[in-house]
Structure 1
């Protein structure tokens, strides 16, 4: 019977990398801005659109409805977002950033970009280009696998 080395298994490596970086960033966002990682993701997605629904956030961030609902409730209570009925469908609520939410988004983006910059300093410019290409291909392959299942 062959030994399966988990530390050499690509999905495991990707998961560990993601969790390590996310934990580090989440601690910083929590201490500086009082935001969880999921709340930050919601703020970025909302800020990238004029108005967005909770379902759209779920789809873009690959988060479940309960996680997004919890983040939205907290962000609304902190007056970082506001909800309004959709003119096309009264059952749906459109989510917008408030001026305070836009300010936090503006303040937090350089922090996020700085983490990315620090991580990428470990790579050469050709490795960064290769990484971009490889991650795009892996994401496409994962999406293909997901649609087959």
Structure 2
């Protein structure tokens, strides 16, 4: 059955390439920490943002990493339950939930960040000198969107 579709190169479509690559990279990195530390990809994204972005709120992190509101909220709640982050209501805007790293969360990041750095170094090797170019282009795209 033919549908008379217009020509389209899916394998050359940049949004598809970015989404597929991001998914695979996240899954590979997660393989290094999920079974060992028992945290999900969403929990990792929130934890690393709380640790390295000052004054992080759930809303800021949702926007920063592209997590759906409900997924970010559930992941943040699990991190609170596990003792890795603490939650407080922002006094200036009571709709905002601020997150802070606990000592236990900092200990976890000290163990996971080297795994993330090793993963990044392996990616850099794969790109053979194009890593800085890719990084610059991705930052430019992210800022433009």
TMscore range, shorter length = 0.7 to 0.9
What TM-score results when the alignment is normalised by the length of structure 1?
0.82
Residue 69, structure 1, aligned to residue 55, structure 2: no
Confirm or deny: 8 A CA contact 1:29 1:37 kept in the other structure: no
Residue 133, structure 1, aligned to residue 136, structure 2: yes
What TM-score results when the alignment is normalised by the length of structure 2?
0.84
| Residue of structure 1 equivalent to 2:33 | 29
Residue 112, structure 1, aligned to residue 116, structure 2: yes
1:77-116 aligned within 5 A: 77-116=81-120
| Residue of structure 1 equivalent to 2:10 | 6
CA, structure 1 residues 50+4, in 2 after alignment: closer, same or farther (shift >3 Å)? closer
SS in 2 for 1:96: strand
Give the drift of 1:30.
Answer: 0.8
Question: How far apart are the structure 1 equivalents of 2:50 and 2:108?
Answer: 12
CA, structure 1 residues 50+11, in 2 after alignment: closer, same or farther (shift >3 Å)? closer
Q: Which among 24, 27, 48 is matched to residue 20 of structure 1? A: 24
Give the drift of 1:49.
Answer: 3.9
Give the drift of 1:112.
Answer: 0.7
**What is the RMSD of the two structures over their aligned residues, measured on CA atoms?**
2.0
| Residue of structure 2 equivalent to 1:60 | 64
Question: How far apart are the structure 1 equivalents of 2:81 and 2:142?
Answer: 35
SS in 1 for 2:99: strand
The count of residues paired between Structure 1 and Structure 2 equals 141
Give the drift of 1:50.
Answer: 4.8
Confirm or deny: 8 A CA contact 2:50 2:56 kept in the other structure: yes
Query: Which residues of structure 1 form unaligned runs of 5+?
Result: 144-149
Query: Which residues of structure 2 form unaligned runs of 5+?
Result: none
